[in-house]
Amino acid sequence: MMCANFGNLEKEIERLDAAGIDIFHIDIMDGSFVPNFGMGLQDFELIRKATNRLVDVHLMIQNPGNYVEMFADIGADIIYFHPEADLHPMRTVDKIKAKGKKAGIAINPGTSIAMIEELLPVIDYVMVMTVNPGFAGQKYIDSVDEKIKKLVALKHQYAYEIFVDGAISRERIEVLSELGVVGFVLGTSALFGKDQSYAEIIKEIKGEE
């Protein structure tokens, strides 16, 4: 949602909702873990109140475990955090689950599977960053595909699903879907700032008649 038109955010939510998107994805940044500031609590609350669809929050912040309860209480359905920014990631997963929410980890392009493998049995989602997090409009990092393939192979031992975030074009969706990715965070590469309506784009991406 950081790529949406903030001049009329409520109308954007209405159009996206009507277009049939599955989840509203909200980036929270602290200017420390990533070199940028993202959306705020008021933005999150506005989006949560304006839709009945799932809303997730992507915590690109230091010490994310300190904020899990707050985002759970204001309506996040899925909470992603970066283990790279958390001294006690297993505790953070426990906090998310204790609130009855889905737990996801987001991992940077340079983060290895070995660094997060102990978390795989207890999470619901792995969101692989395919750009260095913090800014929209970056170039897709091709070397991440190998990590995605390995995570797809591992997921059959556990119960998580794989999402991707960063420079996700329609062409990337086709390729990554075949690899086993089920969720795609859409930004300027596929959805926002296009000549087509959101409804037309989503219909084409989903392959609906």
The domains of the chain are located at 6-206
Smallest Cα–Cα separation from 67: which of 38, 108, 109? Answer: 38
Sole residue written with tokens 């219909």? 203
User: DSSP characters for 14-56?
Assistant: HHHHHHT-SEEEEEEEBSSSSSSB---HHHHHHHHHH-SSEEE
pLDDT score of 135 more than 80: no
Tens-place pLDDT, residues 9-46:
999 999 999 999 999 999 999 999 998 888 989 999 99
**pLDDT tens-digit series, residues 105-118:** 999 999 999 999 99
pTM of the entire predicted model: 0.96
- Average pLDDT value for the chain: 95
Q: Where are the beta strands (DSSP E) in 21-142?
A: 23-29, 54-60, 78-81, 102-107, 125-129
DSSP state for residue 205 in the 8-state scheme: H
- Active-site residues, by number, are 27, 165
Side-chain half-sphere of 209: how many Cα atoms within 13 Å? 0
Instruction: Write down the residue that tokens 């008649």 correspond to.
Output: 209
CATH number of 6-206: 3.20.20.70
Task: Give 134's pLDDT tier (boundaries 50, 70, 90).
Answer: confident
